[in-house]
Chain A
Amino acid sequence: MNFNLKALPIAISIALLPSAVLADESTEAKVAKLEQQVQSLQAQQTKSLADKFNFNGFISGAYISADNNAGYNGATTSADFSQDSKIGFQGTFNISNNTQAVLQLMMKGENDWDVEAEWAYLSHRFDNGIKIRGGKLRVPLFMYSDYLDVGYAQPFARPPGEVYDQVPFSSYTGVDLAYDFEFDDSTLTVQAFGGESDVEVESDTSSDTNLDLSNLMGINASWTDLTWTFRAVYGETVLDGTASGLGVDDEKATFNGLGGSYDNGSFLAVAEWTTVDIEGLLADTESAYLTLGYRISSFTPYVTAAYVKTTDNDVRGAIPLPELAAQLSAALNEERTAYSVGLRWDAIDNVALKFDVTYLTDFGDTTGGMSPNLLPLLMTGENMYDDSMVYTVKFDAVF
């Protein structure tokens, strides 16, 4: 709406004229009505300026500890305040009605508060409804991928690591295309993406990981009637570099995922099932979780059950060198079940407090993904920690 402010007085006087002539409605009421209309027009004008640029942010602060030093999500017997603490700022510039630039900067405690751009893209919606985005984007593999760090928009203290930790990168550089098919009561969104990424993990206990991910591409479809949501995704990429002390030479990795959620306003259910398959010796995994929650005014208690297991233990077991087979099996085979009980409390406007207890168990004859277990398992065949109880107290806010 391009309303010229200079024309306002003229518009008002023209509009006032008939009201002065017409005596059947009280002048006072008419003036009051016109004042409202002027205010509304002014509001629209201010809004159109404010529409050009939006600034938003989110912040999370977390206390994590555990009943032992197994190290799940960085949790040990001593309190940790940085692992799940983060702050993000987002600027959205509306270049035109259909074109915008988005920049989201993140600082995470687990990355020593280094500033990183998680989103940095230009998007354009064509007249036919197709939306294209280019730049740095989130890899849309999981249901919560797009807002992985925005704890306020999630029911739980953190997305279950059994599923979400199986893909060690969350953004890529490239392009995506999305289209919304609108039905009477529902929307189907189809999104295709392609680009490249990398994984750099510095490890204290095992070898560093340094992988280039090329030919990253995938497609997902998500249907929602705003109560039910169903989602399916496929993704693939080619890995090159080193991981877990292994040379990785152009090995293809594929990802499959199914997800669903139900939210009728009081009852909440979310479930995801995913698989990762990598050529060669790196671990293939299957994982899933189910979260159930129920809102009682500002309180949302929830329970989660999640598991992960490697599905290609036989590949590593079949390595002809027994010592190497044992080492790689101990390092990469994984089996774990996690049970969480938690509470989200929408304590005050824009701030949610979360309390979570997660119990990790059923490691089978693997380390359960706990790195302090690796040496004891190799030397003695026994884990140092057979289970772990992780406590989280967290606040999530948006501004």
Chain B
Amino acid sequence: MKKLLSILTLSLGVTFAANAAVVVIGNPSASDMSASEAKKAFLGKGNSSIVVYELDEGNAIRTEFHNTVTGKSDAQLKAFWSKQVFTGKGNPPATVATAAAMKAAVAGNPNAIGYIDEADVDGSVKVILKP
């Protein structure tokens, strides 16, 4: 039992460490964001002036981000957006292919937010949330 527990703790620890690598970024002028604000923003609710960028579907960072922030798997996220689209409530955010493109998009618009691996952060953007 003890062994099982320690394996469990270990694997939880590993998952946690992996999750901690994704950060929400904003324009250098942006202020910090709470986890619930981020969840709302990436599900199209709340402040409508925020411009959200996602990484392309299938990107591991995207999967990890949603796992942490919105709690939705790839398929659940698709089901969620199909509900929004077919009820006229909104469309999924624009997507970019790479961390570099994400930084460029966020750096170019004071209202934009996105997410990247913490290791890719540079001076062009600001980390506004470490989920």
Which A positions have Cβ atoms within 8 angstroms of B?
1, 32-33, 36-37, 39-41, 43-44, 47, 54, 56, 58, 88, 90, 92, 100, 102, 104, 119, 121, 123, 133, 138, 146-147, 150, 152-153, 180, 182, 184-185, 187, 225-227, 264-265, 295, 298, 346, 349-350, 352, 398
Contact = CB atoms under 8 A, between A and B. Distances in A.
A153 B83 contact: yes
A264 B100 CA distance: 32
Contacts, number: 99
Contacts of B94: 43, 47
Nearest to A46: B94
Interface residues of B, number: 36
Give 3 closest A-B pairs by Cβ, nearest first.
A346-B75, A153-B83, A265-B71
Contacts of A58: 82, 86
Interface stretch (B2-10, B12-20, B24-32, B104-112): B104-112
B45 A147 contact: no
A193 B101 CA distance: 43
A226 B39 contact: yes
B101 A39 contact: yes
A16 B57 CA distance: 33
**In the complex, which of the residues B34, B107, B108 has the most CB atoms of chain A within 10 Å of its own CB atom?**
B108
B79 A119 contact: no
Interface of B: 34, 36, 39-40, 43, 45-47, 57, 70-73, 75-76, 78-80, 82-83, 85-88, 91, 94, 96, 100-101, 103-105, 107-109, 124
B62 to A, nearest CB: 14
B105 A40 contact: yes
Given A150-B83, A264-B71, 13 more contacts: A33-B124, A37-B104, A37-B108, A41-B108, A43-B94, A56-B82, A58-B82, A90-B85, A92-B88, A152-B79, A180-B45, A295-B76, A352-B75
B104 A265 contact: no
B101 to A, nearest CB: 6
A131 to B, nearest CB: 10
Contacts of B79: 152-153, 352
Given A41-B108, A47-B94, A265-B71, A90 B76 contact: no
A276 to B, nearest CB: 23
A36 B87 contact: no
B36 A43 contact: no
B82 A40 contact: no
Given A40-B96, A146-B87, A150-B82, A298 B45 contact: no
B75 A39 contact: no
Given A146-B87, A150-B86, A153-B86, A298 B105 contact: no
Contacts of A32: 100
A184 B46 CA distance: 9
B86 A265 contact: no
A398 B82 contact: yes
Given A33-B104, A185-B36, A88 B86 contact: yes
A100 B101 contact: no
13 contacts: A1-B109, A33-B104, A40-B96, A40-B101, A40-B104, A43-B101, A56-B82, A90-B85, A133-B88, A150-B86, A152-B82, A264-B71, A352-B75
Contacts of A180: 45
A37 B46 contact: no
Contacts of B100: 32, 36
